[in-house]
Amino acid sequence: MNFSDLKQGIQKLSDSFRQNAVSAVNTHLTVRNWLIGYYIVEFEQNGEDRARYGAKLLQNLADGYNENGLSYRNLRLYRQFYLTYPQINTYIPQFTSKYFGEIWQSPIAKLQAPVNEYAKIRQSPIAESETIVELQNLPVEKLVNKLSFTHLTLLFPIEDPVKRLFYEVECIKGTWSVRELKRQIDSLYFERSGMSQNPALLSQIVQDSSEAGNMLDTIKSPFAFEFLGLKAKEVVYESDLEQALIEHLEDFLIELGHGFCFEARQKRIIIGDEYYFCDLVFYHRILKCHILCELKVGAFSHEHIGQLKTYVNYYHKEVMRPDDNPPVGILLVTNKNNALVEFATADNDKDIFVSKYLLELPTKEQLIRFINEEVTKV
Both 64 and 156 in a single domain? yes
* 188 and 246 belong to one structural domain: no
Per the domain annotation, does 245 fall within a domain?
A: yes
**Residue that is last in its domain, among 169, 188, 220:** 220
Residues 262 and 349 reside in one and the same domain: yes
- Domain end marker among 158, 189, 220: 220
Same domain, 242 and 200: no
Owning domain of residue 38: 3-220
**Residues 292, 332 contacting (CB under 8 angstroms):** no
Q: How far is CA 121 from the centre of its chain?
A: 32
Q: Closest Cα to residue 293, out of 327, 258, 319, 270? A: 327
Q: What is the CATH number of the domain that holds 293?
A: 3.40.1350
Q: Is residue 233 part of a domain?
A: no
Residues 297 and 289: their CA atoms lie apart, in Å, by 26
Are residues 310 and 183 located together in one domain of the fold? Answer: no
Evaluate whether residue 230 is within a structural domain. no
User: Tens-of-pLDDT digits for all 378 residues of the chain?
Assistant: 788 888 899 999 988 888 888 888 889 999 999 999 999 999 988 877 877 777 788 988 988 887 878 888 889 999 999 999 999 998 888 887 777 665 455 555 555 544 444 333 333 444 433 444 456 778 899 999 899 999 999 999 999 999 999 999 999 999 898 888 988 998 889 999 988 888 888 888 888 888 777 666 666 677 777 777 766 554 444 455 556 666 677 777 777 666 888 888 888 888 877 778 888 888 998 889 998 988 887 677 778 888 889 999 999 999 999 999 999 998 888 765 567 788 887 665 566 677 777 777 888 888 887 777 776 665
State the Cα–Cα distance between residues 132 and 122, nearest whole angstrom.
Answer: 5
pLDDT score at 127? 41
For residue 285, give every residue at least 6 positions away whose Cβ sits within 8 Å of its Cβ, in sequence order, or none: 259, 261
pLDDT of residue 216: 64
Q: Pairing state of beta strands 120-122 and 289-297?
A: unpaired
Q: Which of 159, 25, 157, 154 is nearest to 170 (CA)?
A: 154
Q: State the Cα angle at 200 between 198 and 201, rounded to 5°.
A: 70
227: in domain: no
Are residues 172 and 27 part of one domain? Answer: yes
Q: Are both 206 and 248 inside the same structural domain?
A: no
**CB 314, CB 346: distance < 8 Å:** no
State how many domains the chain has.
Answer: 2
Residue 232 inside a domain? The answer is: no
- Residues 281 and 349: their CA atoms lie apart, in Å, by 23
Domain shared by 204 and 247, yes or no: no
Widest Cα–Cα separation across the chain: 75
Does 226 reside within a domain?
Answer: no
Same domain flag for 178 and 270? no
Per-residue burial over 74-100, b = 16 or more CB atoms within 10 Å of its CB, e = otherwise? bbbbbbbbbebbbebbebbeebbeeee
Pair 213, 249 in one domain: no
Cα 345 to Cα 46, 263, 271, 326, 355: the distances in Å are 51, 19, 19, 7, 12
Q: State whether 187 and 213 are in the same domain.
A: yes
Whether residue 182 lies inside any domain: the answer is yes
Is residue 165 in some structural domain?
A: yes
Helix axes 199-209, 161-173, angle to 10 degrees: 50
Of 220, 255, 279, the last residue of a domain is 220
Q: Quick one: 215 and 242 in the same domain? A: no
Q: Can you give the pLDDT at residue 120?
A: 38
Distance CA 267, CA 370 (A): 23
pTM: 0.64
The whole-number pLDDT of residue 81 equals 95
Alpha-carbon distances, residue 123 vs 146, 162, 278, 283, 354 (angstroms): 25, 8, 44, 55, 57
